[in-house]
Amino acid sequence: MKDQLPLIMNNRAGMIQELKKAMELYSDLGFEYLPLKRANILNLISGGAVLDYKPDRGSPSQQVAEQTADYYSNKETALEELRNEIGDCHRCKLSTGRKNIVFGEGKADADIMFIGEGPGRDEDIQARPFVGDAGKLLTNLILKLGLQRQDVYIANIVKCRPPNNRNPEEDEISICGPFVERQIAIINPKVIVCLGKISAQTIIRSKITISKLRGNFHSYNDIPVMPTFHPAYLLRNPKDKWLTWEDMQKVLEKLK
């Protein structure tokens, strides 16, 4: 083992150098994190990967690329792993009043991802997003677009119901928001539709009102984002439904 030490150290230095290059490459490509399996990282940290590391097996950047491709080829598993990681979450104060965590649902490789702000009463009870009155309106909208609900993916910015359906607060959004960002990274939709002010302002990172944001495409990590009114707002203001319909026509156009 003593004789192996210089070799191990050289390999470790070479590997860290290659890994650094790979991280820089992925950072340039816009990745904010790499979906490496925990076991790989632990193996690397513990030195296990160093003993296994053979330069002729391909550089770590190639291995990372292969792992990433594998990972995204099984998006359902990746979503399940993320749900498991969230567990019985108590990371923010919304955990105290919720009945269920509402993770999100739909097609793991959907072209369209709808993102609302947070679960309401019905969603909290059923542990499913957009199943109350506002959810029925959203489902009708999806059907009118010629799609089924199971053709799209639906999630929220925060996964637990805010008390009395108040808006999620900044600390809650900053703690829970990374989960929806990881859902976006896994699903990698062709278009994101943000439902309402909180969703749009969080995803686009803007303070502009939804009335001004809606109707035009914005961008999140190079994914086109269409903000539109929240279905709950449309229930209260049905005269504005045609504006959301117009927004969705633009989304369909973008998908062609």
Q: Taking the complex as a whole, how short is the minimal distance between the CB of residue 174 and ligand SF4, in angstroms?
A: 9
Q: Which stretch binds ligand SF4 (CB under 6 A): 68-76, 138-146, 155-163, 215-223?
A: 155-163
Farthest CA pair distance, the chain = 78
| 102 lines the binding site for ligand SF4 (CB under 6 A) | no
Q: Taking the complex as a whole, how short is the minimal distance between the CB of residue 87 and ligand SF4, in angstroms?
A: 9
Cα within 13 Å of Cα(46), Cβ side: 8
Q: Taking the complex as a whole, how short is the minimal distance between the CB of residue 160 and ligand SF4, in angstroms?
A: 3
Strand partners, 165: none
| 158 lines the binding site for ligand SF4 (CB under 6 A) | yes
Q: 23, 51, 86, 147: which one contacts ligand SF4 (CB under 6 A)? A: 86
DSSP symbols for 18-65: HHHHHHHHHHHTT-SS----HHHHHHHHHTHHHHH--GGG--HHHHHH
> How many residues sit in the footprint of ligand SF4 (CB under 6 A)?
14
Report the Cα–Cα distance between both ends of the chain, in Å, rounded: 60
Conformation bin of residue 3: beta by default, left when phi > 0, alpha when psi is -120 to 50: alpha
**36 vs 175, which CB is nearer to ligand SF4?**
175
E-strand ranges in 94-151 read 105-106, 112-116
**38 vs 96, which CB is nearer to ligand SF4?**
96
Which amino acid appears at position 202 of this protein? T
**119 vs 227, which CB is nearer to ligand SF4?**
119
Q: 50, 141, 155, 160: which one contacts ligand SF4 (CB under 6 A)? A: 160
| 176 lines the binding site for ligand SF4 (CB under 6 A) | yes
- The CA dihedral of 63, 68, 69, 72, to the nearest 10 degrees, is 160
**60 vs 119, which CB is nearer to ligand SF4?**
119
Structure tokens that stand for 50 in this block: 């160093």
Q: 50, 101, 187, 194: which one contacts ligand SF4 (CB under 6 A)? A: 101
Binding site for ligand SF4 (CB under 6 A): 86, 89-92, 94-95, 101, 158-160, 172, 175-176
